[in-house]
Amino acid sequence: MAGLDHDHALISVLADGLFRLMQSDIERVLFDGPAIHKRLDELAEQITADYSDRELTVIAILTGSLMFTSDLLRRIPLPLKLDCLSVVSYHGKTQPSGEVIFKQFADPDVGGRDILILDDILDTGHTLAAVREKLETAKPRSIRVCVLLSKREQRPREVDADYIGFEIDDEFVVGYGLDFMERYRNLPYVGVLRKELLERMASDDSVMLSQAKHL
Ligand code: IMP
Ligand code: MG
């Protein structure tokens, strides 16, 4: 028993150290857990009021909107349907390619329905424009878009979100579902990734800063 306790203590110290290492790649926190949850309360109240007279069908764009969807929908006390779309638009880089690939499209039941698309962030608009176009072919009754974050910048694609959690400057952010090369999604806040790391990645594709520190 004493051995097991010792193992747990060791694992917890190690995990704590690794988590700190991941956090050290973050330049600054933009929205912490309580700030996100407070804003989700407001968004959920607005969405609940807007959809109280019709059945909502939520289409969540994976993987970035996973945490956002899960926390937001548990605040909406309405009967609703949930479906997910898996989309790749970044290919592991920080610059948008403009190409949107549907990894799988399980034909969500969209015809005649009131659709609310949920995504983590509106950047160039390519992703949401492509998803919107695809869903529109199935003739929904209405489509609205809700994003946790929206970058204040000129968008190549004219796409508007009907519900926005927070507007942010044009910086690369991670955490609370958002990734950089599939990492940092599990940070409990949204933070700006260190520029140094982005610059380094532009020249060397192979290591994250936190990994480099392990070497
Ligand atoms: P868009 O197609 O350029 O609007 O980009 C939307 C997608 O790009 C989002 O769903 C994210 O997956 C990704 N993305 C855009 N900006 C960021 C960022 O700052 N951090 C992490 N992912 C981002
Ligand atoms: Mg995404």
Least confident of 17-21, 89-93, 118-122, 208-212: 208-212
Q: Is the pTM of this model over 0.85?
A: yes
Res 32: pLDDT: 97
Q: Is 170 a catalytic residue?
A: no
> In a mutational test of the pocket of ligand 1, which residue from 94, 121, 131 has the highest number of ligand atoms less than 8 Å from its CB?
121
Structure tokens at 99: 């190409």
Question: Residue 112 C-alpha to ligand 1 middle, in angstroms?
Answer: 29
Ligand 1 center to 91 CA (angstroms): 11
Between CA 59 and CA 122, with CA 161 as vertex, the angle to 5 degrees is 85
Helix residue ranges, H only, the chain = 2-23, 33-50, 66-73, 126-136, 195-203, 209-212
Ligand 2 centroid distance, CA of 86 (Å): 9
Q: Which residues lie near ion ligand 2 (Cβ < 5 Å)?
A: 64
pLDDT of residue 19: 79
Q: Stretch 144-172: mean pLDDT, rounded?
A: 91
CA-124 nearest atom, ligand 1: 3
Residue 135 has pLDDT above 70, yes or no: yes
**Out of 69-78, 82-91, 114-123, which region has the weakest mean confidence (pLDDT)?**
82-91
Sheet holding 163-168, edge to edge: 101-104, 80-88, 56-62, 114-122, 142-151, 163-168
Where would I find the beta strands (DSSP E) of 55-141?
Answer: 56-62, 80-88, 101-104, 114-122
